[in-house]
Amino acid sequence: MGEQTGVTFPQEVIDEYAALGVDLPALFSAGHLGTRMGVQILEASAERVVGTMPVEGNTQPYGLLHGGASAVLAETLGSIGSMLHGGSARIAVGVDLNCTHHRGVRSGLVTGVATPVHRGRSTATYEIVITDEQDRRVCSARLTCLLREVGTEQALTEAAGEAKDGPAR
């Protein structure tokens, strides 16, 4: 699992998970796929999730940032926001992701910012805006997650297992 540095979680969320014996930064990391792609989570709360990803190593044959790489960043950020919104007794499962690619990027770092569009009891929808280093929009995405209510012990066991492989999907 990718080790995240500099992640900011609200203290009450850290305390909630710590009381259950859960390492929150590990639980909400970008997982193995995110690690391979260089995803770094910089800030995380139910209101806003910020992460970066290098273009290098994530390009398609023409040398441009791969649209699938943008989708991975978007789903990672939206899933983290959904999980934080759902709390420790729910698992966020992605049910819809759409991405519109606005411009190509050949180098540097892209930054994604996920903000909620809807946060309900059973679903959460996040808009994710990915920009280049000149703050130009590269991709607009929207992710909707189903929030599955399960027993706290089962939810944490499942989430911990998924944390090894990435956010719930």
* pTM reported for the whole predicted model: 0.80
pLDDT value, residue 2: 41
Query: 19: pLDDT confidence band, cut at 50, 70 and 90?
Result: confident
Query: 114: pLDDT confidence band, cut at 50, 70 and 90?
Result: very high
pLDDT value, residue 73: 96
Average pLDDT of the chain to the nearest whole number: 85
Report the catalytic residues. Answer: 75
30-34, 98-102, 144-148 — which is least confidently predicted?
30-34
Flag whether pLDDT at 169 surpasses 50. no
Reading the block at residue 81, the tokens are 């926001």
pLDDT value, residue 156: 53
Q: What phi, psi does 78 have (nearest 5°)? A: -65, -35
**For residues 93-120, average pLDDT:** 97
CA angle at 102 for the pair 32 and 45, rounded to the nearest 5°:
45
